[in-house]
Structure 1
Amino acid sequence: MAVANWTTSHPSTFILVGIPGLEEEHVWISIPFCSAYILSLLGNGFLLALIRVERTLYEPMYLFLAMLALADLIVSTTAVPKILCNFWFRDQTIHVNMCLAQSFLIHSLTAMESGFMLAMAFDRYVAICNPLRHSAILTNRTVGMIGLGIVMRGAVLLGPHPFLLQQLPYCRTNVISHTYCEFMALVKLACVDTRVMNFYSLAVAFLTGGLDFILIVISYILILSAIFSLHSKEAQLKSLETCSSHVCVMLVFYIPAVFTFLCHRFGHVAPHVHILIANTYLIFPPMMNPIIYGVRTQGIRQRALHILGIKPA
């Protein structure tokens, strides 16, 4: 890895190390990364196309799922190609403007993903706890407004990121010990007091993922309470099956997200472990979402098998 002589506090480029301590293993690590990215492109692309052409899937749950799939495609495409260029060709340099754009897109889109998961939890809450009013509450207009609100929240709360980072003096080094331009990884390179930036980052994390997670947990407590109050075992099982795919997707998303957040601010974990988990958080949920929903959601499974010409067993 070549590092330029350090003469400025406002570099034109940054250098992405990759996974510190595992540089010799980058080629091998790239295999699951590349495979997950290809599966993410195929799965989410197919999911979007399926929901687009099948009008029977024009329901709130599937529309929110389409929004989540689109966010998954963009966030993985923002990060993975550059990571693979680093792993395969040692292309570690990234222009400062591209770095700031990547940081904004990754953080704003992951905030949007969290919001779409909350919207899906709200849809399940209304469908199970107030089924007679589901279509009246979640009209197409309401779904569109919720989706727009989630996008605006992510853009407004994370919009200051690139401008704040651009103002920081990087008088120590331009080497980022990470595979992509993560906000806190850049903040740690600054040679000024960054307590305000840390507080801002904590506040944004709480107002997006933290608040969403709390509301999702509350939603599912109410949903489970309603499910177990049903007298029919068949109805209970059907409702649980409908919700189980959502719970799986949320666990795949939130567990590595929380781990990464805590490591950056409070933990002392080996850098390669931390960065591998951070990459898992970006790469594997987009791959798993269409697989989980395709296997466990009856509407998508049936329409997909119909399009593929496969008769369900």
Structure 2
Amino acid sequence: MKSLRSKVRMTMNSTSTLSYFILEAYLQLGALRYFYFVLTVMLYVVIVVSNVFLLVVICVNRSLHEPMYLFLCSLLVNELYGSSGLFPFLLLQILSDAHTVPAAFCFLQVFCLYSYANVELCNLAVMSYDRYVAICWPLQYNTRMTFNTVVIFIVVIWLYSFVRCVINICLSVRLTLCGNGINSLYCQNFLIVRLACSDTKVNNIHGLFGVFLSIVVPLLAILFSYTKILKVCFSGCSRTRQKAVSTCTPHLVSLFNFSFGCCFEILQSRFDLSDLSAVLRLLLSLYFLLIQPLLTPVIYGMQMSKIRKIYQHMFCYKMLSCYKDPLQVQ
């Protein structure tokens, strides 16, 4: 009888976890919640304005309708997509007193943020291949990187990321959970799986397989591309090296920044970092979702010569014309 009661109690507990989750990290905000709210609003506005502005600049100027900038558009759209899956949710939770999240919305956020991370890394891998073709095979660039090829790359990246995340969530939904507390600012699939009291072998196998396809394969592609680029740079002339540096620097900065943030996220969710301060842990958990969308428009807008010249023309044209008119009158 006692064992039967314990089984019934476990079933009731596991069933109740499917209705909502509790995000325990918000309990540490305390009296600074309004400061965090204002800061979050400002960051979200900056991210949306800067990414949308660069998107419009690329779409409006036909000189930027090249494969490199089309991949950049995909990257910018992904930044807006990932930010929209995080920031409105953060704003609601910061001001809320009950930090509960419906299970359906929690899995929706998992889908959004995990697909964002997948698209980001795969997009960076394809961009590195684009730079490899442009620098190592300049005469064949237009035949290899056609418009149709670019569209196929972008569609495959987004479809693959969405399908993988759907499978991931389907495997997590079927689990029997024995708790509903998540020590995070947002829903994470790994932390949900850790709550399971049923067999998670299939989830673990799929997770390892997904890590290989979504992380190892893109990183190997990036390593191959830059190995070939460095080989050409060392054996080429100074003009080739200068071209490689100017076109690859924004991509490398973006890649290292995103990889840095992903490492923080893995450390935060997999290991006990209770020795660190609560504020530092919160910043680490948000790094790859916060810094990357802020940094991408800046580094690509400032480092890429074509975009920089268009910025200068847009912001300085009126001032220069106003300055020249009096001279012309004289």
SS in 1 for 2:225: helix
Q: CA deviation at 1:213?
A: 1.7
Contact 1:124 1:243 in 2 (8 A): yes
> 1 CA distance for matches of 2:98 and 2:136?
52
- Looking at both structures, which has the greater relative contact order when contacts are Cα pairs under 8 Å and sequence separation is at least 6? 1
Q: RMSD across aligned C-alpha pairs, in angstroms?
A: 2.3
Give the alignment partner of residue 111 of structure 2, picking from 104, 111, 117: 104
In the alignment, structure 1 residue 291 sits paired with structure 2 residue 298: yes
Distance 2:193 2:228 in 1: 40
1:199-252 superposed Cα distances (whole Å, 9 cap, x missing partner): 322321221123212221221121122112112x24422321221111001111
- Contact map agreement 1:257 1:278 (CA 8 A) in 2: no
The answer (yes or no) to whether the contact 1:128–1:239 under 8 Å persists in 2 is: yes
Q: Classify 1:36/1:62 alpha carbon distance in 2 versus 1 (closer, same or farther; 3 Å).
A: same
> How far is 1:81 from its partner?
1.2
Larger Rg: 2
Distance apart, 1:155 and its partner CA? 1.5
Candidates 57, 69, 92, aligned match of 2:64? 57
Change (3 A) 1:114 1:21: same
Q: Which moved more, 1:204-213 or 1:75-84?
A: 204-213
C-alpha contact (below 8 Å) 2:26/2:99 kept by paired residues: no
Aligned-partner residue type, residue 305 of structure 1 = Q
C-alpha deviation, 1:153, in angstroms: 1.3
Q: Does 1:214 align with 2:220?
A: yes
Q: 1:75/1:28 Cα in 2 relative to 1: closer, same or farther (>3 Å)?
A: same
Amino acid at match of 1:268: D
The 3 A distance-change label for structure 1 pair 121 and 32 is: farther
CA contact (8 A) 2:135 2:240 kept: no
TM-score (ref. length: structure 1): 0.89
Asked if the contact 1:15/1:92 (under 8 Å) is kept, the reply is: yes
Write 1 or 2 for the structure with the bigger share of helix: 2
Instruction: Tell me if structure 2 keeps the 8 A contact 1:294–1:300.
Output: yes
Unaligned runs of 5+ in 2: 1-10, 321-330
User: What is the identity, as a one-letter code, of the residue corresponding to 2:107?
Assistant: L
What is the identity percentage for the equivalent residue pairs of Structure 1 and Structure 2?
30
The whole-number CA distance in structure 2 between the counterparts of 1:295 and 1:79 is 26
Pick the aligned partner of 1:167 from 155, 159, 174: 174
Shift of 1:32: 4.5
Stretch deviating more after TM superposition (130-139 or 38-47) = 38-47
Structure 1 residue aligned with 2:272: 268
Amino acid at match of 1:245: P
Bigger CA drift: 186-195 or 288-297? 186-195
Q: Which amino acid aligns with 1:249?
A: S
**CA contact under 8 A between 2:26 and 2:94: conserved in structure 1?**
no
Q: Is the 8 A contact 2:268 2:285 kept in 1?
A: no
The answer for unaligned runs of 5 or more in structure 1 is: 1-5
Distance (whole Å) between structure 1 residues aligned to residue 41 and residue 216 of structure 2: 30
What secondary structure sits across from 2:14 in the alignment? coil
Give the match for residue 251 of structure 2: 246
Aligned residues: 305
1:39 lines up with 2:43 in the alignment: no
| TM-score normalized by the length of structure 2 | 0.85
